[in-house]
């Protein structure tokens, strides 16, 4: 999973840059960027077991609930902030987006697309979507703010956030093809490079 | 596990932060494990204010080491892989030079005349110890509370001599509340009629009551409200095991017992000296800690505990943020911790794993 994402966002990450990854999980994305781009990376994570995995990899990590604030990271001069597959778990995704762009000039955001046709079929049959990308039932999912590609881009417009680049992913994680023809219907995931 | 105890003499002396000088001094140390051929596996443990050099294993006189849950064969700090050293700090009362040792200049015990020592002085004396043991650098310097302050100071004072620092339940400086608590403790010692302005040795007495009260207060600050509640609640002490007839509740009995035991071995002048060192520490020396930390090369692991109200986790986070602002590889982890401030002393699977993985990453 991380390997594919690294390939997609690799050219957005400057060599030797300072990067913060919100919701960094086990730190594998940062670890790869450290190895391929020689970045100075910090992860932010709430789950202690995942934090342990980061430390095992030698990836610096900070225990923090992103919903409780990101202001303390402002003074640290990051070049890039990343939030991969986490923004839909936050209480205030719009605030988080703005905060990220306050603490770094650019940010990378990836999100699952609720407009993907499989999700729509689920909804059309009267049920909350459960797909390989969104496998949890509505009562146990951490995804409290799911949106479609269109919703997300509308939010960016409303918040005056510039989309510098974007990539849409197919079910197998590949880019282009069907996903780029009609992303809101055919992409499972959107990957964005944003600037304020 | 084999415990090696040594008394090491430093005839070269040490110039102290206060401007005073110790013409010579001794450090008592314990070590566990073996230094490897490349001398790359040395770890220094720094003790908290009432600790000593006996960090791990069981000793006939000193009992079980203060960090035995974390340090030992196959434990988080693995003595089968690492050469682990711990010394009693200068000014202590467990064998290193301090108020209870003989002042060569006067042939009498130092008593209250033992010079004021600081965290910086301790770190400098530990550096001399490192050189004497022919250790080129520490793979890790670690400690909790006042010990964590020493680990931080090591990374600031000797950036090339330390690869990693483990800073647990600590802060870059004592808070106003910390100083206030310590002052109450010191006052209870000073006002003990047996204190004799610090010259109690001449009168063949010790200000036991003062030390006892100080320690009882200390214990309250080390535990969390939750732990006190779950451990003692409002249960009454049974008659047979009351240490004092005035005792009603179990918690009273516990504090009485702990305080009494402590007052039997801990020196009053040491108590005052150690708490003064703790209060006086400020990594930034009046400046912003971020400035003080700019030359650090070591990787930092900062651990806090939610149940710790003496050195709240947020104080640890400040160190991590200052480190990150200086582009230092630094991590901040928080655990619930059942034991309040004392949580750093106790093994839990997640805490031990994080320490182990930090050391080995």
Which pLDDT does position A155 carry in this prediction?
Answer: 97
pLDDT at B238 exceeding the cut of 70 = yes
pLDDT at A128 exceeding the cut of 80 = yes
Strand runs (DSSP E) across chain B, as ranges? Answer: 4-10, 14-15, 21-22, 25-32, 42-46, 58-59, 63-64, 71-72, 77-78, 83-87, 102-103, 108-109, 138-144, 162-168, 299-305, 330-335
Mean pLDDT, residues A107-112 taken together: 96
Mean pLDDT, residues B38-51 taken together: 97
- Contact between A40 and B332 using a beta-carbon 8 Å cutoff: no
Residue of chain B minimizing CA distance to A39: B327
> Annotated catalytic residue: which of B68, B308, B339, B342?
B308
Mutation pick from B322, B357, B358 vs chain A, by most beta carbons of A within 10 Å, is B357
Nearest residue to B299 via CA among B357, B219, B244: B357
Q: What's the mean pLDDT when you consider all of chain B? A: 96
DSSP letter, residue B297:
-
Q: Tens of pLDDT along A132-157?
A: 889 999 999 999 999 999 999 999 99
Which pLDDT does position B180 carry in this prediction?
Answer: 97
Which pLDDT does position A176 carry in this prediction?
Answer: 83
pLDDT at B15 exceeding the cut of 70 = yes
pLDDT at B42 exceeding the cut of 60 = yes
What percentage of residues in chain B have a pLDDT greater than 70? 100
How far is residue A77's CA from residue A80's CA, in Å, rounded to a whole number?
Answer: 9
Q: Tens of pLDDT along A75-84?
A: 999 999 999 9
Q: Does residue B219 have an active-site annotation?
A: no
- Contact between A54 and B334 using a beta-carbon 8 Å cutoff: no
Q: Does residue B308 have an active-site annotation?
A: yes
- Contact between B333 and A18 using a beta-carbon 8 Å cutoff: no
What percentage of residues in chain B have a pLDDT greater than 90? 97
Chain B hits for A39, Cβ within 8 Å = none
How sure is the predictor about A3, in pLDDT bands with cuts at 50, 70 and 90? low
How far is residue A170's CA from residue A159's CA, in Å, rounded to a whole number?
Answer: 27
Q: Tens of pLDDT along B52-81?
A: 999 999 999 999 999 999 999 999 999 999
What's the whole-model pTM score?
Answer: 0.95
Map residue A175 onto helix, strand or coil: strand
**Phi-psi region for residue A5, left (φ > 0), alpha (ψ -120 to 50) or beta?**
alpha
Chain B hits for A54, Cβ within 8 Å = 331
Chain B hits for A73, Cβ within 8 Å = 321, 324
pLDDT at B13 exceeding the cut of 80 = yes
Which pLDDT does position B165 carry in this prediction?
Answer: 98
How sure is the predictor about A36, in pLDDT bands with cuts at 50, 70 and 90? very high
How sure is the predictor about A4, in pLDDT bands with cuts at 50, 70 and 90? confident
Which pLDDT does position A1 carry in this prediction?
Answer: 47
Mutation pick from B290, B319, B333, B349 vs chain A, by most beta carbons of A within 10 Å, is B333
B334 near A CB under 8 A: yes
Chain A hits for B330, Cβ within 8 Å = 60
Residue of chain B minimizing CA distance to A58: B361
Q: Tens of pLDDT along B288-345?
A: 999 999 999 999 999 999 999 999 999 999 999 999 999 999 999 999 998 999 999 9
- Contact between A48 and B350 using a beta-carbon 8 Å cutoff: yes
DSSP string computed for B216-255: HHHHHHHS-HHHHHHHTTTPBPPGGG-SSTT--BHHHHHH
Which pLDDT does position A64 carry in this prediction?
Answer: 96
Q: Tens of pLDDT along B79-117?
A: 999 999 999 999 999 999 999 999 988 999 999 999 999
pLDDT at B211 exceeding the cut of 60 = yes
Which pLDDT does position A69 carry in this prediction?
Answer: 87
Q: What is the ipTM of this complex?
A: 0.93
Q: Determine phi and psi for A184, rounding to 5 degrees.
A: -65, -20
For the ranges A4-8, A176-180, B12-16, B225-229, the maximum mean pLDDT occurs at B12-16
Question: What Å distances lie between residue B5 and A189, B2, B28, B93, B196, CA to CA?
Answer: 62, 10, 7, 16, 34
How far is residue B35's CA from residue B43's CA, in Å, rounded to a whole number?
Answer: 10
Chain B hits for A61, Cβ within 8 Å = 331-333
Q: Does residue B31 have an active-site annotation?
A: no
DSSP string computed for B58-98: EETTTEE-TTTTTEETTSSEETTTSEEEEEPPTT-SSSSSS
């Amino acid at each position: 999973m991380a390997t594919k994402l690294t390939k997609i966002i690799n050219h957005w990450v400057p060599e030797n840059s300072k990067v913060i990854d919100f919701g960094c999980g086990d730190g594998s994305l940062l670890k790869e960027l450290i190895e391929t781009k020689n970045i100075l990376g910090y992860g932010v994570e709430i789950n202690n077991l995942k934090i342990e995995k980061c430390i095992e990899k030698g990836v610096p990590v900070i225990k923090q609930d992103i919903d409780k604030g990101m202001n303390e990271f402002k003074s640290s001069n990051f070049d890039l902030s990343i939030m991969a597959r986490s923004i839909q778990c936050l209480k205030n995704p719009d605030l988080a987006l703005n905060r990220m762009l306050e603490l770094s000039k650019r940010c990378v955001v990836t999100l699952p697309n609720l407009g993907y046709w499989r999700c729509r079929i689920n909804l059309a049959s009267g049920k909350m979507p459960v797909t390989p990308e969104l496998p949890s039932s509505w009562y146990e999912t951490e995804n409290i703010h799911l949106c479609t590609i269109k919703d997300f881009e509308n939010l960016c417009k409303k918040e005056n956030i510039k989309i510098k680049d974007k990539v849409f992913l197919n079910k197998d994680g590949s880019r282009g093809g069907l996903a780029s023809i009609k992303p809101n219907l055919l992409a499972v995931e959107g990957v964005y490079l944003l600037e304020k | 596990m084999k415990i090696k105890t040594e008394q090491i003499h430093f005839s070269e002396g040490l110039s102290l932060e206060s401007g005073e000088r110790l013409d010579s001094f001794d450090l008592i140390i314990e070590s566990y494990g073996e230094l490897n051929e490349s001398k790359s596996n040395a770890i220094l443990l720094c003790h908290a204010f009432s600790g000593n050099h006996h960090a791990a294993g069981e000793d006939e006189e000193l009992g079980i080491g203060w960090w035995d849950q974390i340090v030992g064969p196959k434990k988080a700090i693995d003595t089968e892989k690492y050469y682990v050293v711990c010394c009693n700090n200068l000014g202590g009362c467990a064998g290193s030079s301090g108020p209870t040792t003989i002042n060569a200049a006067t042939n009498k015990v130092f008593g209250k005349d033992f010079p004021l020592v600081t965290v910086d002085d301790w770190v400098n004396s530990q550096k001399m110890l490192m050189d004497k043991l022919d250790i080129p650098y520490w793979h890790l310097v670690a400690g909790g509370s006042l010990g964590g302050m020493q680990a931080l100071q090591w990374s600031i004072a000797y950036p090339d001599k330390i690869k990693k620092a483990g800073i647990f339940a600590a802060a870059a400086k004592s808070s106003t509340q910390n100083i206030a608590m310590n002052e109450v403790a010191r006052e209870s010692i000073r006002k003990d009629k047996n204190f004799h302005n610090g010259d109690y040795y001449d009168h063949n007495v010790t200000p036991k009551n003062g030390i006892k009260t100080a320690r009882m207060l200390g214990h309250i600050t080390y535990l969390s409200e939750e732990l006190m509640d779950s451990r003692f609640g409002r249960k009454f002490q049974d008659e047979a095991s009351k240490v004092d007839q005035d005792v009603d509740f179990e918690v009273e009995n516990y504090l009485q017992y702990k305080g009494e035991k402590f007052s039997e071995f801990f020196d009053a002048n040491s108590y005052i000296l150690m708490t003064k060192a703790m209060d006086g520490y400020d990594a930034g020396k009046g400046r912003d800690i971020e400035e003080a930390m700019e030359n650090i090369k070591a990787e930092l692991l900062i651990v806090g505990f939610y149940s710790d109200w003496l050195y709240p986790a947020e104080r640890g986070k400040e160190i991590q943020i200052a480190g990150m602002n200086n582009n230092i590889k630094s991590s901040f982890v928080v655990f619930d911790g059942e034991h309040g401030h004392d949580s750093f002393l106790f093994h839990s699977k997640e805490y031990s794993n994080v320490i182990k993985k930090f050391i080995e990453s």
